Amino acid sequence: MGWKTLDDMDLNGKRVLVRVDINVPLVDGVVTDSTRIRRIAPTVRDIIAAGGFPILLAHFGRPGGERRENLSLNQLVPTLERAFETKVHFAADCVGAGAKEAAETLQPGEVLLLENTRFHAAETKNDPELAAGMAALGDVYCNDAFSAAHRAHSSTEALARLLPACAGRLMQAELEALEAALGAPERPVTAVVGGAKVSTKLELLGNLIEKVDYLVIGGGMANTFLVAQGKNVGVSLAERIMKDTAAEILAKADSTGCKIILPSDIVVAKKFEAHTEHEVLSTENCPEDGMILDAGPASVEQIISIFEESKTLIWNGPLGAFELEPFDAATNAAALKAAALTRAGLLTSVAGGGDTVAALNASGAAGDFTYISTAGGAFLEWMEGKTLPGVAALEQA
Ligand code: AMP
What is the Cα–Cα distance from 315 to 373, expressed in whole angstroms?
10
Distance (Å) of CA 24 to CA 30, 60, 123, 378:
10, 8, 20, 17
What pLDDT was estimated at residue 81?
98
Q: Are residues 109 and 239 in the same domain?
A: no
> Would you call 283 helix, strand, or coil by DSSP?
helix
Phi, psi of 388 (to 5 degrees): -90, 125
Report yes or no on 347 lying in a domain.
yes
Do 25 and 120 belong to one domain? yes
CA distances from 224 to 1, 32, 240 (A): 37, 38, 6
Query: Could you write out the three-class secondary structure of 3-44?
Result: CCEHHHCCCCCCEEEEECCCCCCEECCEECCCHHHHHHHHHH
pTM: 0.88
Ligand 1 atom nearest residue 324's Cα: 12
Report how many domains make up the chain.
2
Query: What is the structure's pLDDT at 1?
Result: 67
**What is the C-alpha to C-alpha distance for residues 116 and 63, in angstroms, rounded to an integer?**
9
Q: How far, in Å, from the CA of 222 to the mean position of ligand 1?
A: 10
Q: How many CB atoms lie within 10 A of CB 200?
A: 14
State the CATH number of the domain containing residue 291: 3.40.50.1260
Question: In the annotation, is 377 catalytic?
Answer: yes
Q: Is 237 in the pocket of ligand 1 (CB under 6 A)?
A: yes
Which atom number of ligand 1 is nearest to the Cα of residue 236? 20
Cβ of 290 less than 6 Å from ligand 1: no
The residue segments making up the domain with residue 135 are 6-168
- The answer to whether residue 36 is catalytic is yes
Together in a domain, 195 and 112: no
123 and 261 both lie in a single domain: no
Residue of 4, 36, 118, 337 marked catalytic: 36
- Contact yes or no for 132/126 (Cβ under 8 A): no
Closest ligand 1 atom to the C-alpha of 320?
16
pLDDT tens, residue order, the chain (397 aa): 689 999 999 999 999 999 999 999 999 889 998 989 999 999 999 999 999 999 999 999 999 999 999 999 999 999 999 999 999 999 999 999 999 999 999 999 999 999 999 999 999 999 999 999 999 999 999 999 999 999 999 999 999 999 999 999 999 999 999 888 888 899 999 999 999 988 889 889 999 999 999 999 999 999 999 999 999 999 999 999 999 999 999 999 999 999 999 999 999 999 999 999 999 999 999 999 999 999 999 999 999 999 999 999 999 999 999 999 999 999 999 999 999 999 999 999 999 987 899 999 999 999 999 999 988 889 989 888 888 999 999 998 7
In-domain check, residue 395: no
* In a shared domain, residues 140 and 57: yes
Q: Are residues 289 and 319 in the same domain?
A: yes
Catalytic residue among 65, 96, 376, 377: 377
Same-domain pairing of 207 and 132: no
Among 265, 322, 327, 356, which is best to mutate for testing ligand 1, by the most ligand atoms less than 8 A from CB?
A: 322
Report DSSP letters for 330-355, one per residue: HHHHHHHHHHHHHHTTS-EEEEESTH
In a domain, 276, yes or no: yes
Q: Which of 38, 45, 68, 197 is catalytic?
A: 197
Co-location of 244 and 344 in the same domain: yes
Residue 271 designated active-site: no
